[in-house]
Structure 1
């Protein structure tokens, strides 16, 4: 039982750490990530429903 709880705590800590790393440095908004001719992504806010 101790090994299972240790594994669960480790998995949760690893997931939280990965979320901070990925959210802080690897994600980009779509209008800056897709800047090629093949992708037609406009500025954010101009294609939202209801605005």
Structure 2
């Protein structure tokens, strides 16, 4: 039982650490991420339906 509890605690800590690391360093807005000629978004929010 102690090994299972230790494994669950370890998994939670690793998941939290990975989520924090990936959220802080690897995410960027779509208008910055997709800047190729085939998918350029110049003004985010201006091309929505009804606007």
Q: CA deviation at 1:39?
A: 1.1
RMSD: 1.8
Provide runs of 4+ in structure 1 moved above 3 Å. Answer: 47-51
Residues paired across the two proteins, number: 51
User: Normalised by the size of structure 1, how large is the TM-score?
Assistant: 0.80
Q: Does 1:10 align with 2:42?
A: no
Unaligned runs of 5+ in 2: none
Distance 2:49 2:19 in 1: 29
